[in-house]
Amino acid sequence: MEQKAEKKMGWEIARDVEKDKPTMGDRAIISGEKWRTLIKYAVLYIVLFIAATWLAGNPFEWTQRLPSEYTKVNGLVGTDTWTIVWWVVLLCAVFEYMDSAGGMGYGTALTPLLLTAGFDPKQVVPLVMITEMVTGLVSGLIHGEFENVEWKLRPMNETTKLMLLISITGMAATMVSISAVYSYFQLHKFWIKLYVTVLLVIMGVCSIMTALKYAKYRPNLMWIFAFVGGFNKGVGGGGYGPVITVGGLISGVPVKSMVAVTSFAEGLTCLAAVVTWFSLVSVGVIVDYMLLPSFVIGTVLAAVGAPYTTRVIPEVFWKWAVPIYCCILSAYSAYKIWPDIAKRLG
């Protein structure tokens, strides 16, 4: 009876794979049919790249080259010129790989780093949303292909219910936070970074506790984490993965399946964010898509290949790797914002 109930959850499939294929070498072998599916997903990125190059050329009045520190130094203000920024490509590839394999890190690490490098939030945050929308959905589906999780609609299993709960709540919270921060309140980027950093530190501490033992499954807790994560995603483009993934571990979801749930839910949450950003055009909000082609190139292979890593490496590794990675992101965010804090205190 207990085994029958477990089969309705959707995360037992990852444990069955480790049981049936006990070595990493066994799990590394996948069928040719799965590879053909991956190629189909990769075609989506070609379409996205074409759209990205079009938007980078400022085809509308509401797409302009914003006068950030970076564009001023490179003489790009007032032009429609753009280029592939290869160090941004590298950063996007690294952080998207960690995000899709470990459930966090893309917007959380990338956003503050690019803001510190001299880009404006409206040159970074909307682009994080667009790329994360595609990579989240694709990565979530590929996690299912690689049997890190099972998505089932008829009858709907628990992981699918959980993903929809997180997505719907996160979409609402994201739309509220984007409208409030960038349209009505127009907060300085320091306060955006400070808020996300403080929350990350808290989640980093909580994440270590989840590695010590498996918690009892309590799905009702995810309403809170879903709202906070969605709000963070709208505010700064980051701080979603750590809150949702760690929140899921605290709520008793096994780590491999929670990473997959986070990826899929983040894709849907970012869909709402993208729609909200485009709707802000009506109130005069300008967005700069100069970096979008660089973002797309960096995220292509990472989002497709990272779920494969999650499949091959055993769950006991991810049980500790995800919390430790969350703590590293927390420390990194605190380190990046400390000079601004010290300056204001001084």
pLDDT digits (tens, 9 = 90+) for 228-243: 888 877 776 667 888 8
CA angle, corner 78, sides to 74 and 80, nearest 5? Answer: 85
Instruction: Report the percent of the chain where pLDDT is more than 70.
Output: 91
For the chain, the 3-state helix, strand and coil shares in percent, each to the nearest 5, are 75, 0, 25
From the centroid of its chain, how far is CA 331?
18
pLDDT, one tens digit per residue, over 189-211 is 677 677 777 777 877 777 777 66
| pLDDT at residue 6 in the model | 46
Q: Is the pLDDT of residue 186 over 60?
A: no
Q: Which residue has the higher pLDDT, 301 or 227?
A: 227
Residues 172, 123: Cα–Cα separation, whole Å: 23
Q: Is the pLDDT of residue 56 over 60?
A: yes
Q: Which residue has the higher pLDDT, 123 or 332?
A: 123
H/E run at residue 275? helix 255-279
- List of residues 6+ apart from 204 with CB closer than 8 A: 242, 323, 326, 327, 329, 330, 331
53: pLDDT confidence band, cut at 50, 70 and 90?
Answer: very high
| pLDDT at residue 289 in the model | 93
The answer to whether 11 and 257 have CB atoms below 8 angstroms apart is: yes
pLDDT, one tens digit per residue, over 112-163 is 788 878 898 889 988 988 888 888 888 888 888 888 898 988 888 889 999 9
The burial class, CB within 10 Å (0-12 / 13-18 / 19+), for 296 is: buried
Q: Is the pLDDT of residue 88 over 90?
A: yes
| pLDDT at residue 85 in the model | 94
Residues 64, 288: Cα–Cα separation, whole Å: 5
pTM of this structure? 0.83
| pLDDT at residue 166 in the model | 92
Q: Is the pLDDT of residue 287 over 80?
A: yes
